[in-house]
Amino acid sequence: MGLELLFVFVIVVIGGFIQGASGFGFGLVAMGFLPLFLTLKESTLIVIALLFVASLSIVRKMYQYIELKGLLLIILPAMAGRVFSFFILTAYGDMDVLKQVLGFFLIGMVIYLLLKKKASPSAEMKLVTPLVLGFLGGFIGGIFAVGGPFFVFYFLMLYQDKYKYNANLQVTVVITSLFTLLLHGLNGDFDVSLFGYILAGILGVFLGTALGLKWFENLPAAFIKNLAMIMVLLAAINLILFS
pLDDT tens-digit readout, 97-116:
888 888 888 788 778 767 76
Is the predicted pLDDT of residue 235 greater than 80, yes or no? no
Q: Nearest 5 degrees, angle CA 210-CA 213-CA 215?
A: 115
Non-local (6+) Cβ contacts of 40 within 8 A are 89, 93, 94, 95, 98, 99, 102, 144
pLDDT-derived band at 186, boundaries 50, 70, 90:
very high
Q: What percent of the chain has pLDDT over 90?
A: 30
Residue type, 197: Y
Which backbone phi and psi does 68 adopt, to 5 degrees?
Answer: -65, -35
pLDDT tens-digit readout, 24-58:
778 888 888 888 888 889 999 999 999 998 889 88
pLDDT-derived band at 217, boundaries 50, 70, 90:
low
Output the average pLDDT for the chain: 84
Q: What is the DSSP letter of 3?
A: H
CA dist., res. 143 & res. 106, Å (int): 13
Instruction: Please tell me the predicted confidence (pLDDT) of residue 1.
Output: 61
Q: Out of 73-77, 85-89, 109-113, 139-143, pick the least confident.
A: 109-113
pLDDT tens-digit readout, 203-215:
988 898 888 878 7
pLDDT tens-digit readout, 117-128:
555 555 456 788
Whole-prediction pTM: 0.82
Q: 187 near 90, Cβ under 8 Å? A: yes
